[in-house]
């Protein structure tokens, strides 16, 4: 214990100022036994900086993963003819009258060509593409963020969002979502899906798929059943 020379209060070893009067304590008389006892009481004493490095490293790792974008496109790129084919198929959906139904097969490359030729200028993204696998649909959205000035440098990082959907009846249910190479879950995944819906949800083509009754995904193609 350290006894205050001013008020006589006994203070724990390690204090700098007296708990009783606030005067600065004289520490030159601390014995080695007292220091050893203090270390036993606080085994982390003297290691605070080492433990601080761990959360800082984890935060930096998450930032690196999130800001490590993937290539902007996935799936087959398609042709102008394919883009026109999708345009005609969508018009067929839009022309359906009450009580009518139809099923249409969309080719992966045709859809990507349609998005790039007809929609990429309207949506708030640099690139949007899809890849159809056996029972799943992968979607990638790429977007350049607002330029930022860091020191003398001006940077505009590109972010990529990846989604893995599986068909459930007439809907696509999200199974996985990534920001860059960082896997998202919980509220972060929900926010990422909302970002995608905000990008495409206002486009007129989206209304066609609100009447979908069944969606089937196989390698390279998506079959959509629509009923009015």
**pLDDT band at 29, cuts 50/70/90?**
low
Enumerate residues 6+ apart whose C-beta is below 8 A from 166.
Answer: 135, 136, 137, 172, 173, 175, 217
What pLDDT digit, counting tens, does each position of 145-178 carry?
A: 766 666 666 666 778 999 999 999 889 999 999 9
pTM of the entire structure?
A: 0.70
Q: What is the pLDDT of residue 23?
A: 81
- Residue 41: pLDDT above 60? no
Mean pLDDT of the region 202-221 = 88
Give domain limits for the chain.
2-66, 80-227
Q: Is 33 exposed, middle or buried (0-12, 13-18, 19+ CB in 10 A)?
A: exposed
Query: What dotted CATH number matches 80-227?
Result: 3.15.10
What pLDDT digit, counting tens, does each position of 80-103 carry?
A: 999 999 999 999 998 888 889 999
Q: What is the pLDDT of residue 175?
A: 93
| Collapsed DSSP state (helix, strand, coil) of residue 121 | coil
The size of the chain, in residues, is 228
- Residue 115: pLDDT above 90? yes
In which element (H, E) is residue 100 found?
A: none
């Amino acid at each position: 214990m350290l006894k205050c020379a001013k008020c006589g209060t006994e203070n724990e070893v390690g204090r700098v100022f007296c708990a009783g009067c606030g005067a600065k304590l004289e520490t030159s008389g601390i014995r080695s036994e007292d220091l050893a006892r203090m270390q036993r009481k606080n085994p982390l004493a003297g290691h605070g900086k080492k433990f601080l490095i761990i959360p800082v490293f984890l935060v930096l790792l998450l930032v690196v993963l999130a800001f490590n974008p993937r290539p902007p496109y996935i799936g087959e790129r398609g042709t102008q003819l394919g883009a026109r084919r999708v345009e005609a198929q969508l018009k067929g959906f839009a022309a359906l009258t009450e009580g009518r139904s139809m099923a249409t097969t969309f080719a992966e490359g045709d859809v990507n060509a349609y998005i790039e030729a007809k929609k990429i200028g309207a949506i708030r993204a640099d690139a949007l593409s899809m890849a159809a696998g056996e029972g799943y649909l992968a979607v990638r959205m790429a977007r350049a963020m607002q330029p930022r000035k860091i020191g003398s440098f001006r940077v505009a990082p590109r972010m990529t969002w990846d989604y893995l959907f599986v068909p459930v009846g007439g809907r696509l249910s999200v199974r996985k979502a990534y920001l860059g190479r960082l896997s998202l879950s919980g509220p972060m995944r929900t926010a990422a899906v909302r970002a995608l819906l905000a990008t495409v949800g206002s486009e007129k083509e989206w209304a066609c798929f609100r009447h979908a009754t069944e969606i089937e995904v196989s390698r390279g193609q998506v079959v959509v059943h629509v009923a009015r």
